[in-house]
Amino acid sequence: MRIQLSATKVHNDFIRKVEDMSGQDLLKCYQCGECSAGCPAAFAMDILPNQVIRLLQLGEHEAVLKSKTIWLCAACQQCYTRCPKGVDLSRIMEAVRDLLMLEHGDRIVIEKLPAETLAEFPQQAFISGFRKYTA
Partner 1 sequence: MKRIGVFICHCGINIAGTVDVKRVAEALKDYPGVVLATDYMYMCSDPGQSLIRQSIKEQNLEGVVVAACSPAMHEVTFRKASAQAGLNPYQTEIANIREQVSWVHQDDKEAATRKAIEHIKTIVEKVKYNESLIPLSLSLVKKALVIGGGIAGLQAAIDIATAGYPVVLVERSDRLGGHVGQLSGVYVNFNAARDLLQSKLQAVQANPRIQVFLETEVEELGGYVGNFTAKLKHRGSDGSEPTFSEHTFGAVIVATGHSLRPLSKFGEYGGGRYPDIIDALTFERMLAPDGPTGGEIRRPSDGQVPRQVVFVQCAGSRDPEHHMPYCSKICCMYTAKQAALYRQRVPDGQAYVFYIDIRSQGRDYEEFVQSAMTQHDVLYVRGKVARLYEEDGKVIAWGADTLTGKPVEVQADLAVLATAVMPAEGAVELAQKLRIATDEHGFFSEAHPKLRPVESLTAGIFLAGTAQAPKDIPETVAQASAAAAKVLSLFSQRELVAEPTIAYVDEELCSGCGLCIPACPYQARTMHPWKHKAIVNEALCQGCGACVVACPNKACKLRNLTPSHVLAMMDAYLAEV
Residues found near partner 1 in the complex (CB under 8 A)? 1-7, 10-11, 25, 27-28, 30-31, 50-51, 54-55, 57-58, 60
> Smallest distance from the beta carbon of 39 to partner 1, in angstroms?
16
Rounded distance, CA 86 to CA 95, Å?
17
C-alpha dihedral sign at 95, 18, 25, 29 = positive
Of 36 and 132, CB closest to partner 1: 36
Taking the complex as a whole, the smallest distance from the CB of residue 4 to partner 1 amounts, in Å, to 5
Q: Is 20 exposed, middle or buried (0-12, 13-18, 19+ CB in 10 A)?
A: exposed
- Packing angle of the helix pair 89-104, 13-22 (nearest 10 deg): 120
Residue 18 C-beta: closest distance to partner 1, Å:
15
Cα separations (Å) of 54 from 63, 64, 70, 103? 11, 10, 14, 22
Q: Measured from the CB atom, is 19 or 98 closer to partner 1?
A: 19
Name the residue nearer to partner 1 (CB basis): 91 or 131: 91
Q: How far is the CB of 94 from partner 1 (least distance, A)?
A: 21
